[in-house]
Amino acid sequence: MTGEITYVKAINAALAEAMRDDGRVIVIGEDVAEGGPYLATEGLADEFGSERVRNTPISEGAVCGIAVGAAQAGLRPVVEIMFIDFITLALDQLVNQAAKAHFMSGGQLSVPMVLRTQGGAGGRAGAQHSQSLEAWLTHIPGLKVVMPATAADAAGLLRAAIADPNPVVFVENKSLYFRREPVPETPEPIELGRASVLRRGGDVTIVALSRLVGEAMAAAERLAADGIEAEIIDPRTLVPLDLDTIAASVRRTGRAVVAHEAVRTGGFGAELAAELQAAAFDYLDAPIQRVGAPFTPVPLSPPLEDGYRPQSDDVYAAARHAVQWADVEEPVPLSDTGRSRGE
Amino acid sequence: MVERETALDLLRTMWRIRCFEERVATLHHRLQVHGLVHLSIGSEGVAAGVCRRLRDDDAVYSGHRAHGHALAKGAPMDRVMAELMGRSAGLCQGLGGSMHLVDTQHGLMGATGVVGGNLPMAAGDALAARLRGEDRVTVVFFGDGAVQAGHFNETVNLAALWELPLIFVCENNGMAEFTPRSAHTKVARVIDVVAPYDFERRLIEGSDVGAVWTAFGEYLEQARSGTGPFLLECSTHRRSGHYEGDQQSYRDALADAEWAQLDPIARLEARGKDEGWLDDEAAAGLTAHADAEVDAAVRFARDSPPLSADDAAALVYAT
């Protein structure tokens, strides 16, 4: 049984299901009782009350720390940081405390909490409400990092994240929130660490994160019209990473593009490219191509922001570049759009 | 007033902490205790007067100066020593060390090396106790240096707003690392910092362990019934440097007579002798007993190997 709902409604429903199933689950954050700016927590306070759906002041550090302490004491808090940009204020609690508690206590403590947040540009919101900061978090042993690209994955991965005994950062994307997509009536948890292969193809592997998954699917249609069959893989969770599935695909296609909205420099695509060249070096027919945002803060001006965000055109061009690599003596020139693609 | 048996227990607890830490200093100089080590010599009265009141299921969150809190809360001395020496028999299998002591069995739920980082976690613990309908109480220890950190105000605000059963215990030794409090803030007393929130708060002499025991007991009784928060500010003297190896060029040593007035052990022993429940022989016996326990703890720790790298790596994620 499936129905069509939006990504944000799928998250809302998954939260409600988790709260019904387990009295230890609480939701805590700024304006969560009112539903928050995107209505992800709408209606939860009516059903579960203000003790379990707990509004907080604008105190990201303390709110994250309260979630850590409550998790160590046996609750399963889902804390909302309204924009991933504000996670900067909570990093001591997330990185120094939550991520290390299990290890530093020799296994005595565990922190079964989920930190929900959302990133991405496109909202004309300027550089402090539009970033994609997930790569920072993947650098911290002890954290898990989830980035769902579809409504169904958002629901299933959120259920798994809440059930997980570790701190999980769940990174949503504001420009996916209101797309209507098919979602199972009662989504089953989706195991963390399982990539999703969205399209089969033998010519090039495109590994895309979050919003770029949709862009990659659109690029694949254009590539198909050119006679190039792309395989599209969404890792869904960055930590743990399903490298086996991705590397197996690249060994088969011999070409890889990694695509995300985050700034390319130091982005998670760099980690993917490094792991893939090690896992598939002898199979590669072209350098691994990276698609990401340029090394600037997110601009406000609409034409500048639109130019800043990687789109399907960028994924298409990077895939063409990879496929043509062996056919040309000189690498084809990079486009002059200012967006970074290719090497 | 504190009963004689309680007073003896507090004295015994303080001697255990003092002898332990003096040995830790020696072992640190010999490179057998590792890393950044912060001693609490001079403030044992706060650790003893607070923690000896608590049940095992009452939670304590501590900071980087945590040895005394751990021992007074019930953590076994041999496993604390093994932890400081980085051995697998340590409380945290040697993965935490001096600044990160945890003993969940005895309610020591965390100690953090990031000043002030423990405050919101303690509030979360108190929130969990309330939501789970438990009558346990949460205590968070911190120094006056943490009061200028943002987490302090955020946490005090929320604890007051939500009336959490949380007792803030400030060990105000007047020093934030190398710098006197007066150079960091205009507000000398921590009870004045939280005054606008209007919860119960009190400043006492931390070197008077009986006063700590009594004042904390009053707050504990109320917190046990689910109300809060409370702030107990204990003025203390930090006898040692900020950490072991600190040259302390920023301050002069105290005269012996002055230290005797600030030393919680000397004060309680003087009182015991005045009141007739302690004599020189009994006092020496307490010290010798504590020293013997420390000897055994060091032997226990030395017999334990460090954890293997594989076993450590297996502890990054809970399963």
The per-residue DSSP string of A219-236 comes to HHHHHHHTT--EEEEE-S
Q: In this structure, is the dihedral angle defined by the CA atoms of residues A152, A195, A262 and A157, taken in order, positive or negative?
A: positive
Determine the distance from the C-alpha atom of residue B133 to the mean position of all C-alpha atoms in its chain, rounded to a whole number: 27
- Provide mean pLDDT across the span A175-185: 91
Per-residue pLDDT, A331 = 56
Per-residue pLDDT, A128 = 96
Ranges of beta strands (E only) in B85-189 are 108-111, 138-143, 166-172, 175-176, 179-180
Inter-chain touch B92–A141, beta carbons under 8 Å: no
Catalytic residue, candidates A42, A102, A129, A261: A129
- Measured between beta carbons, the chain B residues lying within 8 angstroms of A57 are 154, 157-158, 161
User: In one letter, which amino acid is A290?
Assistant: R
What are A2's strand-pairing partners? A184
Per-residue pLDDT, A299 = 97
Say which residue, B259 or B270, is predicted with more confidence.
B270
> Hey, is the C-beta of A77 within 8 angstroms of any chain B C-beta?
yes
Say which residue, B241 or A171, is predicted with more confidence.
A171
Percent of chain A topping pLDDT 90 = 92
B173 in Cβ contact with B237 (< 8 Å):
yes
Confidence of residue A221 (pLDDT cuts 50, 70, 90): very high
What are B235's strand-pairing partners? B172, B205
How many Å lie between the alpha carbon of A156 and the closest alpha carbon of chain B? 19
DSSP secondary structure code for residue A84 in this structure: G
User: In one letter, which amino acid is B99?
Assistant: M
A43 in Cβ contact with A16 (< 8 Å):
yes
- Sequence-separated (6 or more) residues with CB below 8 Å from residue B291: B19
A115 in Cβ contact with A168 (< 8 Å):
yes
Instruction: Tokens for A54, please give them.
Output: 């707990």
Per-residue pLDDT, B111 = 92
B56 in Cβ contact with B136 (< 8 Å):
no
> Hey, is the C-beta of A143 within 8 angstroms of any chain B C-beta?
no
Ranges of beta strands (E only) in chain A are 2-6, 25-29, 53-55, 76-81, 114-119, 144-146, 168-173, 180-184, 196-199, 204-208, 230-234, 237-239, 256-263, 289-293
pLDDT at A336 over 80: no
pLDDT at A342 over 90: no
- For residue A240, whether the previous peptide bond is cis, meaning omega lies within 30 degrees of 0, is yes
pLDDT at A194 over 50: yes
A106 in Cβ contact with B95 (< 8 Å):
yes
Nearest CA in chain A to B99: A104
B44 in Cβ contact with B237 (< 8 Å):
no
B190 in Cβ contact with B147 (< 8 Å):
yes
Catalytic residue, candidates A60, A231, A261, A305: A60
Per-residue pLDDT, B282 = 95
> Hey, is the C-beta of A58 within 8 angstroms of any chain B C-beta?
no
pLDDT at B225 over 50: yes
Nearest alpha carbon to residue B66 among B174, B158, B139, B128: B139
Nearest alpha carbon to residue B197 among B236, B234, B223, B168: B168
- Measured between beta carbons, the chain A residues lying within 8 angstroms of B109 are 69, 72-73, 109
> Hey, is the C-beta of B71 within 8 angstroms of any chain A C-beta?
no
A262 in Cβ contact with A292 (< 8 Å):
yes
Inter-chain touch A73–B128, beta carbons under 8 Å: yes
Inter-chain touch B124–A72, beta carbons under 8 Å: yes
> Hey, is the C-beta of A333 within 8 angstroms of any chain B C-beta?
no
Per-residue pLDDT, B122 = 98
> Does A60 qualify as catalytic in the annotation?
yes
pLDDT at A243 over 70: yes
- Measured between beta carbons, the chain A residues lying within 8 angstroms of B75 are none
Alpha helices (H) along B150-206: 150-162, 190-193
Per-residue pLDDT, A337 = 46
CB-nearest to B92 from A63, A96, A105 is A105
How many Å lie between the alpha carbon of A141 and the closest alpha carbon of chain B? 7
- Sequence-separated (6 or more) residues with CB below 8 Å from residue A160: A189, A190, A191, A192
Interface test with A, best of B83, B93, B108, B127 (most A CBs within 10 A): B127
Per-residue pLDDT, A321 = 96
Per-residue pLDDT, B121 = 98
Interface test with A, best of B121, B138, B152, B319 (most A CBs within 10 A): B121
What are A230's strand-pairing partners? A204
What are B61's strand-pairing partners? B110, B140
Q: Considering all CA atoms of chain A, what is the largest pairwise distance in Å, rounded to the nearest integer?
A: 67
- Provide mean pLDDT across the span B201-226: 97
- Provide mean pLDDT across the span A54-80: 98
pLDDT at A143 over 50: yes
Nearest CA in chain A to B89: A106
On average, the pLDDT of chain B sits at 94
Per-residue pLDDT, B1 = 61
Rg over alpha carbons for chain B, rounded to the nearest Å, is 19
Instruction: Tokens for B118, please give them.
Output: 């423990």
- Provide mean pLDDT across the span A57-64: 97
- Measured between beta carbons, the chain B residues lying within 8 angstroms of A109 are 102, 104, 109-110
CA dist B80 and B103 (Å) reads 9
* Interfacial B residues in 207-266 facing A (CB < 8 Å): none
Instruction: Tokens for A317, please give them.
Output: 């061009």
Three-state DSSP state, A244: helix
Q: Output the DSSP codes for B195-239.
A: GGG--EEEEEETT-HHHHHHHHHHHHHHHHTT---EEEEEE----
- Provide mean pLDDT across the span B35-58: 95
User: In one letter, which amino acid is B232?
Assistant: L
pLDDT at A340 over 90: no
Instruction: Look at A88-102, A191-205, B255-269 and tell me which has the smallest mean pLDDT.
Output: B255-269
Inter-chain touch A71–B124, beta carbons under 8 Å: yes
Q: For A108-137, what is each residue's pLDDT tens digit?
A: 999 999 999 999 999 999 999 999 999 999
> Does A260 qualify as catalytic in the annotation?
no
B84 in Cβ contact with B32 (< 8 Å):
no
* Interfacial B residues in 40-69 facing A (CB < 8 Å): 59, 61
Confidence of residue A327 (pLDDT cuts 50, 70, 90): low
Inter-chain touch A103–B132, beta carbons under 8 Å: no
Q: For B147-180, what is each residue's pLDDT tens digit?
A: 999 999 999 999 999 999 999 999 998 877 777 8
> How many CB contacts within 8 angstroms connect chain A with chain B?
151
Instruction: Tokens for A259, please give them.
Output: 């695509």
pLDDT at A338 over 60: no
B73 in Cβ contact with A89 (< 8 Å):
no
> Hey, is the C-beta of B165 within 8 angstroms of any chain A C-beta?
no
Q: Phi first, then psi: what are they for A333, rounded to 5°? A: -70, 150
> Hey, is the C-beta of B141 within 8 angstroms of any chain A C-beta?
no
> Hey, is the C-beta of B308 within 8 angstroms of any chain A C-beta?
no
- Provide mean pLDDT across the span A61-90: 98
CA dist A234 and A279 (Å) reads 18
- β-bridge pairing B138-143 and A2-6: unpaired
CA dist B159 and B151 (Å) reads 12
B146 in Cβ contact with B169 (< 8 Å):
no
Q: For B70-123, what is each residue's pLDDT tens digit?
A: 999 999 999 999 999 999 999 999 999 999 999 999 999 999 999 999 999 999
